[in-house]
Amino acid sequence: MIPLRKTRVAVVAAGAATLMALTACAGGGPDAAGAERVYVQAIATDPESLNPQLTNGASVSMLGAPILEPLIGQTGEFERFPMLAESWEFSDDGLEFTMDVRQGVTWHDGEPFTAEDVKFNFDEIMPLNTYGPAMTDKITETEIVDESTVTLHFSEQYGPLLQTLSLMVLLPKHIYEGTDYITNPANMAPIGTGPMVFESYSSGRELVYVKNENYWGGDVPVDRAIYPMMPDPNTRTLALVAGEIDSAEVDASQMHQIAENPNLVHLETGNVPQSVVLEMNAQNEYLSTPEVRAAVYAAIDRQEITDVAIGGLGEPATGFLPPSLEWALSPDVDFERDFPRDIDAINTALDEAGYPVGPDGTRFTLNLKYIVSLADTALAAEQLVSMLGDVSIGVNLESVESAVFTDQVYTQSSFDIALLRTTVSADPSLGVSRWYTCNPDKMAARNPSGICDPEIDAAAAGALSTIDEAERSEHLQAMQVRAKELIFFAPLAWTHAGFPTVSTERWDGLDTFSDTTRSTTLDWMGLEWKG
């Protein structure tokens, strides 16, 4: 097992409150013969889908993971392992990728999982996934060699192939073929190969899974998983404290409501790193030069953002990638050295850039946009008012809903600076490069700065063009160096504030992960019921 770094939260005891009754959900009772072993995880809202292959989102991925599985798994520490593909290999030229398909696997409706399912997914489903086209556009043929072997033929090498496959869950051909894939009812009642089977969904109430009695991975120790809807963060926190639920996402701003309890553990690993990031619009007259953008970024106290906005649940960013992606980190980028918070030096740089302090006490004013529902970025926005004020830059706060943020920041470019929480995904080429490469079509969740830099684009393309990790690293390091020089998008802090908080009162194993536990899900096969 991989030991989990853990944070035990201890604060003032919560006052009396009315908790959501989950007696019916909890089931089981004492650990006795015949008692039903039930896992309960609160979720904030109704899921928009349960199929992460066709709908993006952290919640969709988390809820889909127990049901739908990929060919290759990847842990939160970026280590890969076999799943529906038992093994794989590249040809010497990197243009053929052969997989041994796991035998004896059945879909939840009893139909066999076959090489035909694998081919159907590569040919029909994967091109519809956000990360799919960059890979499938390079596949010239999906060949079924025999009933247990599938070979992909590529026109050119695709660097993050294994990482991309870890994000691609497989869908059953016999359920999707000949249908409208996007509107197929199975997207809300999935049929997969995973350890849990979809049972029911009641909008506004709960989502229920049951044990897969025929799971290829062995006997599943969970009889039932229930996901009650708890939109109020206080309710989720109090339910955790009361032992009524086993897991929930608790806002960093709500951590103070968790009573001191040795059974409560806030997870720090198990998912790929998230970050609170600063986005800058280079089309703004004040932010049009890298010198001013560097001064703005340097004026932000990243340690204070970590301590206050995310409640100490993370660490200040010192580069464009988290430390866990050591293979791709550039030694020539160090935010502490490159962007020190030296107020005198920052003021001098802004003076020399042609922005002296005016009669109103400011050099210029920036509009800062953030998503109102993200507590960490909301707190960080308030901090930036003071931090940028230290170098006489005014800040107007603009809190908006998520959909409005997407439209105004990415489509309309109607922002000066913005704060966002995002993830690095399974590979830098998948989750990081998009924030730096040219985005002329103004696609959402991609570089909104207006900057199109040939050096960055070439480096990002280079990292996609080879499966050799050392060569990929060279390209990614070059991208980071150039991103430092232009500085228009950068993380402020790596955070696990959005990771779940779990109670170990009824289950052992919620706070540990094996080396075959996929990112975004728990170690279903490693759980042990205590009752």
- Which residue segments constitute the domains of the chain, with CATH numbers given? 38-47+194-271+498-529 (3.40.190.10), 68-175 (3.90.76.10), 274-495 (3.10.105.10)
- What pLDDT, on a 0 to 100 scale, did the predictor assign at position 520? 82
Residue with tokens 């109102």: 372
pLDDT in tens, 119-170: 999 999 999 998 999 999 999 999 999 999 999 999 999 999 999 999 999 9
Confidence of residue 33 (pLDDT cuts 50, 70, 90): low
pLDDT, the chain, mean? 92
| Cβ neighbours of residue 261 closer than 8 Å, sequence gap 6 or more | 10, 241, 503
**Tokens encoding 305:** 């953002």
Distance between CA atoms of 11 and 238, rounded to whole angstroms?
13
Three-state DSSP class for 197?
Answer: strand
Residue with tokens 């509107």: 183
pLDDT in tens, 194-225: 999 999 999 999 999 999 999 999 999 999 99
- What pLDDT, on a 0 to 100 scale, did the predictor assign at position 259? 59
**In the predicted structure, residue 11 carries a pLDDT above the cut 50:** no
- What pLDDT, on a 0 to 100 scale, did the predictor assign at position 25? 41
Strands 364-371 and 85-90: unpaired
What angle do helix axes 454-464 and 469-486 make, rounded to 10 degrees?
Answer: 160
Confidence of residue 258 (pLDDT cuts 50, 70, 90): confident
- What pLDDT, on a 0 to 100 scale, did the predictor assign at position 27? 41
**In the predicted structure, residue 15 carries a pLDDT above the cut 70:** no
**In the predicted structure, residue 29 carries a pLDDT above the cut 50:** no
Distance between CA atoms of 373 and 379, rounded to whole angstroms?
11
Residue with tokens 């009933």: 147
- The least confident of 250-259, 269-278, 447-456 is 250-259
Task: Over range 76-93, report the average pLDDT.
Answer: 96
Element (H, E) at 144: strand 139-146
Element (H, E) at 402: helix 402-405
The whole model's pTM is what?
A: 0.90
- By CB atoms closer than 10 A (0-12, 13-18, 19+), residue 344 is exposed
Instruction: Give the bridge partners for 249, in sequence order.
Output: 500
pLDDT in tens, 299-335: 999 999 999 999 899 999 999 999 999 999 999 999 9
**Tokens encoding 333:** 């980028």
- What pLDDT, on a 0 to 100 scale, did the predictor assign at position 35? 86
Break the chain down into helix, strand, coil percent, rounded to 5: 30, 25, 45
**In the predicted structure, residue 73 carries a pLDDT above the cut 50:** yes
- What pLDDT, on a 0 to 100 scale, did the predictor assign at position 169? 98
Among 16-20, 246-250, 282-286, 512-516, top mean pLDDT goes to: 282-286
List the alpha helices (DSSP H) in 186-307.
Answer: 233-241, 290-298, 302-304
| Cβ neighbours of residue 77 closer than 8 Å, sequence gap 6 or more | 2, 269, 324
Residue with tokens 């004013």: 365
Which among 247, 252, 288 is positioned nearest to 264, based on CA atoms?
247
How many residues does this entry show for the chain?
A: 531
Confidence of residue 34 (pLDDT cuts 50, 70, 90): confident
Confidence of residue 24 (pLDDT cuts 50, 70, 90): very low
Residue % of the chain over a pLDDT of 90: 82
**In the predicted structure, residue 383 carries a pLDDT above the cut 60:** yes
Instruction: Give the end-to-end CA distance of the chain in Å, rounded to a whole number.
Output: 22
**In the predicted structure, residue 173 carries a pLDDT above the cut 80:** yes
Residue with tokens 């989750």: 431
- What pLDDT, on a 0 to 100 scale, did the predictor assign at position 260? 75
Confidence of residue 3 (pLDDT cuts 50, 70, 90): very low
Confidence of residue 251 (pLDDT cuts 50, 70, 90): confident
Residue % of the chain over a pLDDT of 70: 93
